[in-house]
Amino acid sequence: MVPAADRWSQDAAAVPAEGLPTWLFYLLVCVILFLLAFIFLRDKDLRRRLSAFLSSAKRKMVRFRLQARVKKEKARKTQLWLELGKAAWSEDLPLESAADVRQRLAALEEERQARQVEWQDLYARIEALNRVHQEARTRQTELFEALAAERRPHADRHQAVEARLQVLAREAEQAPEKLTAAEYEIRATEEEMRSAVDDPKLGDAERTARHEKGRARIRDLLALEEELRSRGPGLDAERAALAAEESRLRLLLDENAARRDQALADWQKRENIFQAEMKGLQKDRDRVQDRLVEIKRLSEPLFESYGQAVDEARPARETLALLYFQIDGVERRIQDLLTRIENIR
């Protein structure tokens, strides 16, 4: 039996918990928003402070954008000074206020020209070395192909001779066994012939047939023995000739392989010399190229300073008029932007 207290707990747990209705929640949110709007409309000081905050943020954003534009225009002016300095330098425009800058530019330009000549010489030497090496590689390939073509018929013939020698060796090895087998078969055939003569069960015709068959078989075996014995000297002579030819071919193949190995060793030595020389030339070229880049980097601020001095002096040159006009336009835009920034309070 379940106690009363436990039943009360179960009944309480079974009752669903009731929360705030959804429509009431949204109604309260709307009331709160209405009160906030009412307070905002009634409080002039709050509206003024909010307006001042938003206006200040807007002014800061505008000022930031104008300052970014000023920075961009100043960078453009610096670039125009650089172009003006290079143009004035190409015109060989003398300027007392920039005599020191011109002297330093002249020294860098002299070094640049010398380095450029050195770089072109190194480039030409690298190209010539590559060309000579490629020609040597072509000759080396042709030499290897010629050695391979010279070796091929000797190697084919040597392979055929070795195969024939193996056949002759097997034939010479099997000849005694064949002779022994033939002698054994002759004796066995003779024994069969004698048995046929003494066999009373055989008729004269059958006895005669077996006798003739045995004699024919013996004649064949004797002919085989004679052929095997007569072939021995011929096999020895052929083996001797083939052995001599095999030795001659082996010498030719070894001599061909020696020439190929020597050619390969000579090529490897030449390749090592080429790689060392090429590495040295490329290192010198990269060193000169790095110095040319460094000279250009050092010249940029000098051209900019020279261009600024030319802009201040404004010597009359038709080739520089357009750059003067562009610099003036950039300066006007900068001053206009600075004025707009100054007027932002």
Q: pLDDT tens-digit profile of 73-86?
A: 989 999 999 998 88
CA distances from 269 to 81, 100, 197, 209, 332 (A): 56, 55, 88, 85, 70
**So what's the pLDDT on residue 113?**
93
Report how far residue 191's alpha carbon sits from residue 199's, in angstroms, rounded to the nearest whole number.
Answer: 12
Q: Is residue 341 part of a domain?
A: no
pLDDT band at 15, cuts 50/70/90?
very low
The pTM assigned to this predicted structure is 0.57
Report how far residue 218's alpha carbon sits from residue 16's, in angstroms, rounded to the nearest whole number.
Answer: 123
pLDDT band at 118, cuts 50/70/90?
very high
**So what's the pLDDT on residue 208?**
67
Q: Is residue 120 part of a domain?
A: yes
pLDDT, tens digit (0-9, with 9 covering 90-100), for 296-337: 999 999 989 988 898 888 888 888 889 889 988 988 998 998
**So what's the pLDDT on residue 2?**
46
Q: Is residue 88 part of a domain?
A: no
- The phi and psi torsions of 18 (rounded to 5 degrees) equal -105, 125
pLDDT band at 5, cuts 50/70/90?
very low
Q: Could you tell me how far CA 206 lies from the centroid of its own chain? A: 90
Report how far residue 115's alpha carbon sits from residue 236's, in angstroms, rounded to the nearest whole number.
Answer: 81
Q: Is residue 10 part of a domain?
A: no
Q: What is the CATH number of the domain that holds 205?
A: 1.10.287
Q: Is residue 58 part of a domain?
A: no
The DSSP code for 91 is: T
pLDDT, tens digit (0-9, with 9 covering 90-100), for 17-35: 455 678 777 778 887 877 7
3-state DSSP call for residue 86? helix
Which pair of tokens denotes residue 67? 């300052």
Residue 199 has pLDDT above 80, yes or no: no
pLDDT averaged over the chain? 80
pLDDT, tens digit (0-9, with 9 covering 90-100), for 202-246: 666 666 666 667 667 767 666 665 665 656 566 677 777 888 888
Q: Is residue 76 part of a domain?
A: no
Handedness of CA 267, 268, 272, 275 (dihedral sign): positive
Q: Is residue 43 part of a domain?
A: no
Q: Name every residue whose Cβ is closer than 8 Å to that of residue 257 and which is 6 or more positions away in sequence.
A: 151
Report how far residue 131's alpha carbon sits from residue 140's, in angstroms, rounded to the nearest whole number.
Answer: 14
Number of domains into which the chain is organized: 1
Q: Is residue 71 part of a domain?
A: no
- Domain extent for 138: 115-285
